[in-house]
Amino acid sequence: MKKLLILNGPNLNLLGKREPGVYGNQSFEDYFETLKNLFPETELIYFQSNHEGALIDKIHETGFSFDGIIINAGGYTHTSVALADALSAVITPAVEVHISNIHAREPFRHHSYLTSRCKGMICGLGLKGYEMAIRYFVS
């Protein structure tokens, strides 16, 4: 059985409430139940924090024993060398996910410090991007 971590960064705890025109009306907790039902043969662990250090700690905790990390670092995507370094420090492969198309938004969102540390990036496909990342790891 594959063991995957879904790691969400700052403000993603507000999904379903925050800017529904950009991020939709569904909470991640509700969507996570959908993912667990879609992938019953995969152990999915979900962690969200608004604190950079907590995200780094979770990468360190899981990065040598899990089969994959699906990371949406939120705003830290564009600012955190420390998160990028954490992904480089572990052996577990990661896929970067963004609900919105970061390349169609403000210019400061066009750069990701994480992309070069990840197997790939899925962006702009809404919550479906998480499902696609899981499918990558289980195939």
Residue 132 has pLDDT above 90, yes or no: yes
Question: In sequence order, what DSSP letters do the residues of 58-95 get, joined into one string?
Answer: HHHHHTTT-SEEEEE-GGGGGT-HHHHHHHHHSSS-EE
Q: Measured between alpha carbons, how far is 41 from 15 in angstroms, rounded to an integer?
A: 26
Residue 3 has pLDDT above 80, yes or no: yes
- 31, 51, 76, 98: the active-site residue: 98
Note the Cα 8 to chain centre separation in Å.
Answer: 5
Q: What is the pTM of this model?
A: 0.94
**What are the structural domains, with CATH classification, of the chain?**
2-106+124-138 (3.40.50.9100)
Q: What is the pLDDT of residue 22?
A: 74
76 is catalytic: no
* CA angle in degrees (0–180, nearest 5) for 40-134-106: 140
Q: What is the mean pLDDT of the chain?
A: 94
101 is in an annotated binding site: no
Over the stretch 49-104, which tens digit does the pLDDT of each residue have?
999 999 999 999 999 999 999 999 999 998 999 999 999 999 999 999 999 888 77
23 is catalytic: yes
